[in-house]
Amino acid sequence: MKDGRKNEPEVLRIRSEPATQDWNVQELLERVEGDRRLMRELLVMFRDENQRTMETVRVSMEERDLARASRAAHAMKGMLKNLAMGATAEIASSLEAAARNGLLSESEELFGKLEQALAQILPQVKAQLIEAQV
């Protein structure tokens, strides 16, 4: 594994507060330099892509292919960071590290947390998309 490091403390850094409170739409808007069309494009990408990426993580864990699960979690982390979803990105980051270090049960637990966080954040994304359409 390219970046594999055992027993990193970051595995244990799991946020407990709801991730949805952490979505900073203003930060995202600044990142796209006020280009709402681009923001919408990115959100559509995220809406379409996140399920596929989560499915990759889930299947990889089922097949005990934690390296692949880690790579998919890394991709999820990248998307979330770009969209200014900091707390959820932190969970994805922890999942990436846990999977990279071969910690299956921690990975499964973090996967559940990530699913929960996404379940809260996705309705907000959809609301933003509807708002942007108006």
Partner 1 sequence: MKVLVAEDDTLSRVLLERTLQRAGYEVTSVDNGERALKELQKEEAPRLVLLDWVMPEKDGVDVCRAVRDIKGHAYTYLILISSKERKEDIVQGLESGADDYLTKPIDGDELKARLRAGERILELEDRLVEAREDMRFRATHDLLTSLWNRGVIVELLSRDVTRARRENSCTAVMLCDLDHFKSVNDHHGHGGGDDVLREVSRRLHASVRSYDLVGRYGGEEFLVVLNKCEPASAITRAENLRNAIAARPIMAAGKPMTVTMSVGVALSTDFVSGDAGELIQQADMALYAAKGAGRNSVRMARPNTLQNADSDLKTGLRGDEASPVLSGRDTGCS
84 Rama sector, left if φ>0, alpha if ψ -120 to 50, beta otherwise: left
Does 24 contact partner 1 by CB under 8 A?
no
Does 42 contact partner 1 by CB under 8 A?
yes
Does 62 contact partner 1 by CB under 8 A?
no
Does 55 contact partner 1 by CB under 8 A?
no
Q: Cβ 109 to partner 1, closest distance in Å? A: 22
Q: Which stretch binds partner 1 (CB under 8 A): 27-35, 60-68, 103-111, 121-129?
A: 27-35
Return the number of the residue (31 or 58) whose C-beta is nearest partner 1. Answer: 31
What does the alpha-carbon distance between residue 42 and residue 27 come to, in Å, rounded to a whole number? 14
Residues with Cβ within 8 Å of 115's Cβ and at least 6 positions away in sequence, in order, are: 54
Q: Which positions from 63 through 122 interact with partner 1, judged by CB under 8 A?
A: 71, 74-75, 77-79, 81-84, 93
Q: Which stretch binds partner 1 (CB under 8 A): 32-40, 57-65, 102-110, 121-129?
A: 32-40
- Per-residue CA distances from 57 to 38, 98, 103, 134 (Å): 27, 12, 14, 35
Asked if 129 contacts 49 with a C-beta cutoff of 8 angstroms, the reply is no
- Per-residue CA distances from 119 to 16, 101, 124 (Å): 15, 26, 10
Binding residues vs partner 1 (CB under 8 A) = 2-3, 31-33, 35, 38, 41-42, 45-46, 49, 71, 74-75, 77-79, 81-84, 93
